Amino acid sequence: MSDAYLVQPDMEFIKDVAALGGGDLKKCFQCATCSVVCPISPDTRPFPRKEMIATSWGLKDKLVGNADIWLCHNCGDCSTKCPRGAKPGDVLSALRAYTVAEYAVPKALGKAVNDPKKLPFLMAIPATIFLVIILLAPFLTPVFAHIIPIMFHEGHEAAGVIAHSNFIPSGFVDMVMVPTFLWAVAIFALGLKRFIADIHANALLEGKTDKKTIDPVEFGKALLRVLPTILKHDKFNQCTDNRERSTAHMMVLFGFIGLFIVTSIFFVVMYVFGITGPYSQLNPVKWLANISGVALIIGSALMIKNRLAKKDSVSVYKDWALLGLALGLGVTGLLTEMTRLGGMAWLTYLLYYIHLIFIFCLFAYLPFSKLAHLVYRTVAMTYAEYGNRK
């Protein structure tokens, strides 16, 4: 005899999912075509059919903390083949966006990040911070240089030398960016602790795993096994309808990874070895920076082009916000460097100011944005590998 389950629909949850891009959910009539045509859905308890049922019934508890919604890569095969136009891929994308907002705290900031009306306010925060720094830097730099000299030892004040540290001292920039980055890490840590506990509890409840507790060592080994799949985009390449998305997505991913590596290297070089910029264009790390920046620009531009071409897919604010941020980061970063090399001081300083605003937005709002799926999907795929979900 099967277990009884009391259905308690959460109507607000259904409305929220619809607002995040799952508005065609109610067209689903449970034919299971989506689960059959999906090339990466597991053989046992396949998605996305069961997620479509649970969402239409408003079963929030069965979906938030469900690892399967993250195993979907939104390749679009299920939406293309759906005879009712219910767009299961878009529904799962909306569920992921809802989950990110659910696990990230404070939730008020999460709602603001995904509200286009709040964008001017969110961007005004870093714009104001860096404007204040620009205005006060001439007075504060001597004071801070005496207190923490390692952060203020650049010395590019010579006439005619264009260095962004002359406009905004790197020490002040790092005093803003490092805590902002650590803030994002802390938000992710808090969210992932709950996320992992919930997906394990759900997996036990639904019989997806027989492991009573999570072994950290084995979980770490599972992560190492999953990383090549992520870096090679093996799952994307199994798709048929939107396989071309793989190239653009990979360019953006490796663009971000390359720029993170470059930033980390220059941070160590500056504060450990005392070697300050501007750095020579012949420096191999600069090559990596330029290649990564170009990859980020081309990849994000291709993703925008692909999204505009797909008239049948749902595009909501969270999608365009991420693409705009990625493209803005790449374009302002590259133009900042080009104008500095071209001797256009006022223009390069203006572009640098805008570039810093984009970087702050990337760090501060990352745990609440669509880009957070990079972290949550990696963890979900690792858990599936750890629990032997085939």
pLDDT digits (tens, 9 = 90+) for 156-207: 554 467 788 888 888 899 999 999 999 999 999 999 999 999 998 888 887 7
Looking at the structure, tell me whether residues 148 and 72 fall in a common domain.
Answer: no
Nearest to 95 by CA among 130, 46, 62, 128: 62
- Residue at which a domain ends, from 103, 124, 157: 103
| Domains identified in the chain, total number | 2
Looking at the structure, tell me whether residues 300 and 338 fall in a common domain.
Answer: yes
- Residue at which a domain ends, from 80, 103, 126: 103
Looking at the structure, tell me whether residues 222 and 329 fall in a common domain.
Answer: yes
Round to the nearest angstrom and report the end-to-end CA distance of the chain: 27
Task: Name the residue with tokens 């805590």.
Answer: 179
pTM: 0.88
Would you say residue 286 lies in a domain?
yes
Would you say residue 85 lies in a domain?
yes
pLDDT tens digits, 236-263: 777 776 667 788 888 999 999 999 999 9
Looking at the structure, tell me whether residues 42 and 142 fall in a common domain.
Answer: no
Residue 334: predicted pLDDT: 95
Containing structural domain, residue 172: 111-386
Looking at the structure, tell me whether residues 99 and 126 fall in a common domain.
Answer: no
Looking at the structure, tell me whether residues 75 and 127 fall in a common domain.
Answer: no
**More confident position, 43 or 221:** 221
- Residue at which a domain ends, from 35, 68, 103: 103
Looking at the structure, tell me whether residues 131 and 97 fall in a common domain.
Answer: no
Looking at the structure, tell me whether residues 81 and 176 fall in a common domain.
Answer: no
Are 74 and 92 a contacting pair, CB within 8 Å?
Answer: yes
pLDDT tier, 114 (very low <50, low <70, confident <90, very high otherwise): confident
pLDDT tens digits, 123-148: 999 999 999 999 998 888 888 777 77
Residue 158: predicted pLDDT: 46
Q: What DSSP designation does 367 have? A: G
Q: What DSSP designation does 242 have? A: S
Looking at the structure, tell me whether residues 121 and 64 fall in a common domain.
Answer: no
CATH of the domain at 51: 1.10.1060.10
Residue 263: predicted pLDDT: 92
Would you say residue 2 lies in a domain?
no
Looking at the structure, tell me whether residues 69 and 128 fall in a common domain.
Answer: no
Would you say residue 319 lies in a domain?
yes
Average pLDDT, the chain: 87
Would you say residue 4 lies in a domain?
no
Looking at the structure, tell me whether residues 298 and 153 fall in a common domain.
Answer: yes
**More confident position, 71 or 328:** 328
pLDDT tens digits, 349-366: 999 999 999 999 999 999
DSSP 96-165: HHHHHHHHSSSHHHHHHHT-GGGHHHHHHHHHHHHHHHHHHHHHHHHHHHHHSGGGS-----STT---HH
Looking at the structure, tell me whether residues 373 and 248 fall in a common domain.
Answer: yes
